[in-house]
Structure 1
Amino acid sequence: MIKRRFPKTIPLLQPIPPTPPSPIPNPPLPSQPVVSSTPLPTLTLFHSPKSNHTQLLSFLKTHLNPPFTPQNLLRFLKSKLHHHPNFTHYDFHIFNWASTIDSYRHDHSTFEWMARTLAITDRFSDLRSLLHFMVSNPCPCSDGIFSCSRTEHIFQFSIVAYCKIGKLDDAVDAFECMRKLIDGKPSVVVYNILINGFVKCGWHDKALGFYNRMIKDRVKPDVFTFNILLNSYCRNSESGLALELFKEMKEKGCSPNVVSFNTLIKGFFRVRKFEEGIGMAYEMIEMGCEFSCVTCEILVDGLCREGRVSEACDILINFSRKGVLPKEYDCFGLVETLCRKGNSVRALEIVYELWSKGNHPSLISCTTLIEGLRVFEKIDEALRLTERMLEEGMVPDYVTFTCLLQDLCNVGRTVEANKLRLLASSKGLDSTAMACNILVSGYTREGKRKEGEILVDEMLDRGFIPDISTYNRLMNGFSNERKSM
């Protein structure tokens, strides 16, 4: 058996001549560090290019001797080279060098790993070279009747990477390379990626142009294609053209989804066409398309920002009664707006209406509403809401709860305040020393000595009274208050 010797030099690791012989240009080796006047440490991580080349050659001899397979190379790149602190950036050099060996041929596994690695590490010029190399050196899977099934996936990942950084020309170039390698037409997913890339870069006309090319190539657009273009029209304040595309979408047999409607509603609101936006919401109901929380937020928040709060309330109640509101929707934004405008009673009506239909308000919505009711001295309403919250297992925060107890005591309703405290305790909201002191003061002012003494004894048992003098002061307060009466 003839044993092949490892070459003494790696051609592709030599300095790149003016006209590189390899179809894939290689990144240059690190230049020799500039000698500083300051003495360097004895041990250093910097090496000259010659030293690096020698060490890399030795590393290759140890771990990767020809002949090897794509699986051997991939294992070496992943487990050996990738984790080496000095050689990891030579992965594309090694990949290139392997392609010059007569007995070796890259397949889709090495192409895919290299393409993903170059994209993730932002080496996009090398990625472009790699994709062009694939065109002239396709995967061995393509030697038969059909092309390699992984080719489109490799190019799709690369196109996504180019679009993310706004290199749309390179993305289109990769698309053209892919067209030469795959069987038949590209998938609609690839077209959508490129159209979305143009839209994100603000190139509306180019997005439309690529859509027209898609139609010309007889690739059927899907709901994502139309949603991308609807968004582009709306971002350019062309709601009329967006509506025409929406009609074309239905004519082509593509059913709009909730994203389609949300995009149009938001687009109409953007140009202050509120009636048309609300009309789209009702069309959703007619078509049987379920609302999302985003749909409700677009409608309610959009109307509230324009001062049409009453209309937002009516629409929300109407949708609730029709049973189309998502169960997880929370009307916090509307509650906050109503309370800020001094209409907390209306906010309470909205919360109770939605609550009765299964739309449970969030803790923050209820807390905001309690504060809004307290500001306008709606103590009864705040008390009823807090009691319902506790019955439903919603425990308010200590600050809000303590403030409500103070309000009740201030109007001579300390007994009700204490009942609320006991209810909260049974639901997991333990009484604080401050809450108990507020209630004791309330009982003192109302002359309810018996109830006050019971609470003081409870405070003593729970360690809320630090010393005997504090205890005597509280108890004497009941006697003094009774004498003054």
Structure 2
Amino acid sequence: MGIIQSPSLLFTNYFHSSASTHNPKDAKSQRFLRSKFNSSSFRDVDDALAFFNHIILLRPLPSIVQFCRFLSALVGMKQYHTVISLSRTIESLGISHNIYSLSILINCFCRLHLVNFGFSILGKIIKFGLEPNTVTFTNLIKGLCIDGKINGAVDFFNDMVAGGYQPDVHTYTVIINALCKCGKTNVAIELLKGMVERGCEPNVVTYSAIVDALCKDKLVIEALDLFSQMRNKCISPNVVTYTCLIQGLCNLGKWNQASALLKEIAGQNISPNIITFNILIDNLCKEGLVSKAQEIMKIMIQQGVKPDVVTYSSLMDGFCLCNQMDEATKLFDHMVSSGIADVFSYNILINGYCKSKRIDEATKLFDEMIKSSLVPNSVTYNTLIKGLWEARRPGIALEVFKNMCSHGQQPNKVTFSIILDGLCKQGYLDEALTLFKAMEKSRLKPDCVSFTILIDGMCKAGRLNDAKELFFRHFEKGLQPNVYTYSTK
């Protein structure tokens, strides 16, 4: 096509498929090659390329329709660069592109964030005297949405309609989904109404996109209304629709309604997936309703859905929040023996031990984590450092801090706030001031939290002049004191 350069993908000398045992000149071999190529059922991209390399040596060559089927199979494998390269080869063989092959090419450019090249293909379509179709326009709209050019996508959609082209349900769904993801839910709802007025019926994917956006905006009543409208139109909700509603209800603490929806799913012959169960279990655990979460986990196992690391971690976090550390430890041991414990799992239990004042067990678990070749992250270090300060072990806390720096884990503002707080609470005010000044000279500038911690420490130690000076420096740095800062002052 002369539009984009890609590494050569042809004539790879690969031919380990069953086709390699045949001579392409043999009539039986040719029939096999053509049949396999036309079916477009390939094991992988190498298998597909091997057949392509042989099929282009046969005469007569396959039609553009057959090549389109082949290119669509590669799109299904997400081999967008390969499709672009092979399209050029097909054209060089003297086979003229049609609207379908060019629409496939537009799709590939758009998937690769090259929407401008996609529009250049649209120009080529018009130059060839071909008629763009809904798929052509939908691919370009999708490309604009992928690049975050939502306003451009809406404008292009309107131009499409004004030009007499009828968008289909897929076109509407693409743009509605993009509008919802960028927070323009109201615009998406208006588009949904316009869609119905134009006689294009939304499908479950269209409705689910808006239901999800409404739930994320905490407009669950509106989401449930839309859910009812959807069912009144005999459009059956799927597991995604239900999962969005369950998440929305959980976010508002409406556990009973969320659990009722889970039961309704079973009644609708829809299988809840791991995401559905994990959302409910995680939210129940965060509210301390661990026994209810365990009940949901039993239902989950009964329905043949295997708990994963997220499920176990949520439950373990719930036990820690309820100070049931022995139960949390048993669950963690099970995760370790199953080989699914990760950094996140260790962080939960370390935090639980710190909150329960079992700092020795937290430190031991931290050491075990390193021995198991897991790399602690900033959350791990911050949690342990805070626990050690609260356990009045400043020396060890500072050792862990040094360990953090020496192992390439960059301290963040949270880390420094923890250390500042620890130093102030244990009377090391001069050391706290030194650290604070070092922060001011570094890229990690003190924020409102850091100022408030230090002001509070100075006030409690009777160093009111230092506190007052810090308070006014707060303004000089362009920071706005919060209610805690003023309360401290």
Structure label with greater radius of gyration: 1
- TM-score, normalised to structure 2, is 0.45
Name the one with the larger helix percent.
2
- TM-score, normalised to structure 1, is 0.46
